[in-house]
Amino acid sequence: MPLKIYNSLTRNKEVFTALTQGYVGMYVCGPTVSGESHLGHARPYITFDVVYRYLKHVGYQVRYVRNITDAGHFEEEGRAAEDKISTKAVVEKLEPMELVQKYTNLFHWAMKQFNNIEPTIEPTATGHIVEQITMIQKIIADGYAYVVNGSVYFDVNKYNTDFSKQGLPYGILSGRNLEEQLDTTRILDNQEEKRNKADFALWKNAPPEHIMRWQSPWGEGFPGWHIECSAMATKYLGTQFDIHGGGMDLQFPHHECEIAQSTVCNHTAPVRYWMHNNMITINGRKMGKSYNNVIKLTELFTGNHPLLKQAYHPMTIRFFILQSHYRSTLDFGNEALQASEKALKRLWEAYKNLQKIVVDKWDATDMALDEKINKQIAEFTEFIEDDFSTAKVLANMFEIVPIINSIKNKQLPLHTLSSNTILLMQQQFQLFIENILGLQYQEDNNDTIDGVLQLLIDIRKEAKAKKDFVTSDKIRNELAQLGIQLKDEKDGTVSWSFS
RNA sequence: GGUCCUGUGGCCGAGUGGUUAGGCAGAGCUCUGCAAAAGCUUCCACACCAGUUCGAAUCUGGUCGGGACCUCCA
């Protein structure tokens, strides 16, 4: 059962093969740390965390590179050159690097909340100015860029003409053709420096008020929009690597430009499998800065936002995201998040109960059910290998949850399923829930609280025996008020969980 | 205007032409002192109109709606 990945480049699901056997190079576009991350940002990092986890699980040694964009990009091409970071820093009375540090820390904190594994290399744009300059020089030397007033622009037309012959036209990734682009690109101001509307900046001359600036062969300035990813990906993953991921909104122009820059420099198309996650929407509309409809992660975790009816745990968000396919849009809503919250709890409790079953050796009394469960378990792997269909994996788990609960409640005899099947369930649930999907559940109970609750449970039991329901209900209800739920099990025992 | 995606039950969402996706919510039942939890059962669906087919949510054409990109954007 080979892993299949939908490749945006070919618009097809393809069997994944690594460039170098046993190793995978993966680059994912990271955050611009000029502000706080929002719900939309959570998606690619969770999506590619699962990709990373899965590749590692099947035995690849993965180098996962995710950049931090801490050098100011333009607000908009053609507008007065304006460094986003430095502008905002003035407003907030912070040094640019101070600001960048603050949001980098916040980003790392959020990633941890989501239980995302750190990338193996997390390079910063400001730490790779030299590499970017070197790359730009190479592009100029090869004749695919030109210098105007201390700025350097990529000559898209020339690139397209020359590389189309090699089957690598500009627009190959996003499926556009340059001629159409030239006719339809919106007319922006201050483009007189460019030879052509489609050209993009590799290096920008810095106006005096620009704080972030570096010395370059073309004067003081700062790198263009797209060059950092090309430079850092090449440096850490080589001239060609396996997977490049990012949001669909980066497909054009960002990734298209990356391809052009790297292809000129390295004489080969850089990426073999391009993966793009779809957007998170809110009322059907993309969540994004430009639409003014973002919910920041800190707001989400605290519930502090007019659109939020409550706070949502990071794991609820992770689960919510994994319940859809990464290439579909996913619509935010309180109802949907609340559904995820309950579903995750139910799944987790069933999973914990499954792990508690002690297994020796027996055969199944219900062969048909036993077989069905085995099939559903086997499908976990099939589904994840089918372009990371996490939603289907979860759906299968939920098909099995009632069986687990029934066995636990003795509504089904333990021996309904064979011991081998139960062992397989235990092993595969753990593998997929914890290792591959990366789900966790807060279990901040310790011996002390457990002891206290056991005491209350005993007192309640005694009260019930005496038919003192006032006392027993008081214990139950007041614990519920505190967020602790008592559960009277079928076998007469009482368990508890945080609700 | 150009390129592309999309329209599934109250909400979120899988869906590869023929069989229940799944979750949450709702209803009934079992269990319970009453509940909760859990289990069982159950209601609600494929925007619209044609066409292809023995058979379409799934393919084709059209109509209407929503969205993304073309500009920083996950």
pLDDT digits (tens, 9 = 90+) for A343-387: 999 999 999 999 999 999 999 999 999 999 999 999 999 999 999
Residue A189 has pLDDT above 70, yes or no: no
Residue A309 has pLDDT above 90, yes or no: yes
Residue A49 has pLDDT above 50, yes or no: yes
Cβ of A56 near strand B (distance < 7 A) = no
Mean of the pLDDT values across residues A461-480?
Answer: 93
Other CB atoms within 10 Å distance of the CB of residue A187:
7
CATH class of A297-436: mainly alpha
Task: Kindly indicate the confidence band of residue A194, based on its pLDDT and cuts at 50, 70 and 90.
Answer: confident
Counting runs of H as helices and runs of E as strands, what totals does chain A give?
A: 16, 15
The pLDDT value given to residue A87: 65
Task: Kindly indicate the confidence band of residue A114, based on its pLDDT and cuts at 50, 70 and 90.
Answer: very high
Mean of the pLDDT values across residues A252-261?
Answer: 95
Higher pLDDT, A483 or A78: A483
Cβ of A31 near strand B (distance < 7 A) = yes
Mean of the pLDDT values across residues A451-465?
Answer: 93
Residue A185 has pLDDT above 70, yes or no: no
Mean of the pLDDT values across residues A407-417?
Answer: 94
The pLDDT value given to residue A302: 96
Give the C-alpha separation, A331 to A42, whole Å: 14
Q: Protein contacts on strand B: list nucleotides below 7 Å from a Cβ.
A: 1-4, 10-15, 21-25, 31-40, 66-74
According to DSSP, the residues that pair with A148 across neighbouring strands are A151
ipTM for the whole predicted complex goes beyond 0.90: yes
Q: What percent of chain A has pLDDT over 90?
A: 79
Residue A181 has pLDDT above 80, yes or no: no
Burial label for A310, CB within 10 Å (0-12, 13-18, 19+), is exposed
Residue A29's nearest nucleotide, by CA–C1', is B74
Closest CA to A222 of A126, A100, A354: A126
Residue A182 CA, chain-centre distance (Å), reads 34
Task: Kindly indicate the confidence band of residue A188, based on its pLDDT and cuts at 50, 70 and 90.
Answer: very low
Domain ranges of chain A: 4-277, 297-436, 447-498
Domain A4-277 has CATH 1.10.287.1770: no
Find the Å distance, CA of residue A226 to C1' of nucleotide B67: 26
Find the Å distance, CA of residue A209 to C1' of nucleotide B64: 52
Task: Kindly indicate the confidence band of residue A498, based on its pLDDT and cuts at 50, 70 and 90.
Answer: confident
Residue A88 has pLDDT above 90, yes or no: no
Q: What percent of chain A has pLDDT over 70?
A: 92
Cβ of A74 near strand B (distance < 7 A) = yes
Residue A331's nearest nucleotide, by CA–C1', is B12
Do A270 and A65 contact (CB within 8 A), yes or no?
A: no
Q: What is the Cα Rg of chain A in Å? A: 27
Mean pLDDT of chain A: 91
The pLDDT value given to residue A353: 94
The pLDDT value given to residue A449: 87
Alpha helix (H) residue ranges in A278-417: 297-302, 314-322, 334-356, 367-385, 390-408
Give the C-alpha separation, A146 to A201, whole Å: 10
Buried b (16+ CB within 10 A) or exposed e, A365-403: eeeeebebbbebbebbbebbbbbbbbbbbbebbeebbeb
Strands A12-15 and A4-7: antiparallel
Mean of the pLDDT values across residues A466-494?
Answer: 91
* Residues counted in chain A: 499
Mean of the pLDDT values across residues A189-211?
Answer: 80
